[in-house]
Amino acid sequence: MRNKLGLLISGLLFCLSISCAVNPITGEEELMLFPEEQDIKIGRQYAPELEKQMGGRIPDPAIQNYVNYVGQTVARISHRPNFEYSFAALNDKSINAFALPGGYVFVTKGMLQHIDSETQLAAILAHEIAHVVARDVSNEMSNQIGLGLLLSAVTSEKTPQSVLTVADLTQQIVSLRYSRKDEREADLGGLDYMVKAGYNPYGMVETMQMLQNLNQTRPIEFLSSHPSPENRIGYLTQAIQTKYFNLAGLKVGKEEYSKALRSRLSN
């Protein structure tokens, strides 16, 4: 009874907190179902289970440090540098990257094995950071999974039932579907973050080209819920040619990526 009452009270407080907030990437006012503080709590709650279900972290500190370095480089110039960002490389063969609310960002071993430069890694992480900044992750978790189930994730008292719920919901989080509008905004917002962080934005175009080529020979699961790479290549290229006039000095980092990750990922 006490647990149910506590959950009800929490739910009422959440409902009172529902309001509009400005998306810092687009400048548009959007409905937000819970405050930023809850983003961090939910991300912290789900991150360990997500890592567990995706094979755990790659057991190589050098890989983890490099991914975190690139991610933090981009995150600190984002619109929400106050989030405690965490970047991890997961020991999973799928080609994927995803984020949890509050700044928890993950990239799989399968994805890392198919890119070949630091700027491509920065592109992947910048896209996920843009989703976090715009709070797309929070909103889609609420829309597709349900606010009530998310509330159960941030209660302090754990039961066997709540643990199973977290495990089950984690699978749904990995396969969240964003709108085409959200994906486009994350792409274009990610471009801005890349350039501000000192990376060549063509790394994002190259990543889309890689995904497009791979998808033609063996369908990539997460692309079934994303706009086609071919369409994204078009508007990304146009944005780069229109907005970024001087790419001189922006980092590509093929040698750095090869030295930091390539040989280690083959083990």
17: pLDDT strictly greater than 50: no
The residues, ordered by sequence, that sit 6+ positions from 219 with a Cβ below 8 Å of its Cβ are none
pLDDT of residue 75: 97
Q: How far apart are CA 42 and CA 38, in angstroms?
A: 6
Residues 126-175: tens digit of each pLDDT: 999 999 998 877 777 766 666 566 656 555 445 544 554 666 767 777 76
Confidence band for 78, pLDDT divided at 50, 70 and 90? very high
What pTM, to 2 d.p., does this model score?
0.83
3-state secondary structure the chain: CHHHHHHHHHHHHHHHHCEEEECCCCCCEEEECCCHHHHHHHHHHHHHHHHHHCCCECCCHHHHHHHHHHHHHHHCCCCCCCCCCEEEEECCCCCCEEEECCCEEEEEHHHHCCCCCHHHHHHHHHHHHHHHHHCHHHHHHHHHCCHHHHHHHCCCCCCHHHHHHHHHHHHHHHCCCCCHHHHHHHHHHHHHHHHHCCECCHHHHHHHHHHHHHHHHCCCHHHHHCCCHHHHHHHHHHHHHHHCCCCCCCECCHHHHHHHHHHHHCC
101: left (phi over 0), alpha (psi -120 to 50) or beta: beta
The tokens of 177 are what? 């579907």
**Mean pLDDT over all residues of the chain?**
81
220: pLDDT strictly greater than 80: no
Confidence band for 231, pLDDT divided at 50, 70 and 90? confident
Neighbours of 262 (CB within 10 A): 15
CB-neighbour burial class of residue 12 (10 A; exposed 0-12, middle 13-18, buried 19+): exposed
Structural domain total, the chain: 1
Exposure string for 224-244, b = 16+ CB within 10 A, e = fewer: eeebebeebbeebeebbeeeb
Domain housing 230: 2-265
Percent of the chain scoring above 70 in pLDDT:
73
Q: How far apart are CA 165 and CA 184, in angstroms?
A: 31
185: pLDDT strictly greater than 50: yes
Q: Which of 100-114, 217-231, 248-262 has the least mean pLDDT? A: 217-231
9: pLDDT strictly greater than 50: no
Beta-strand relationship, 29-32 and 86-90 = unpaired
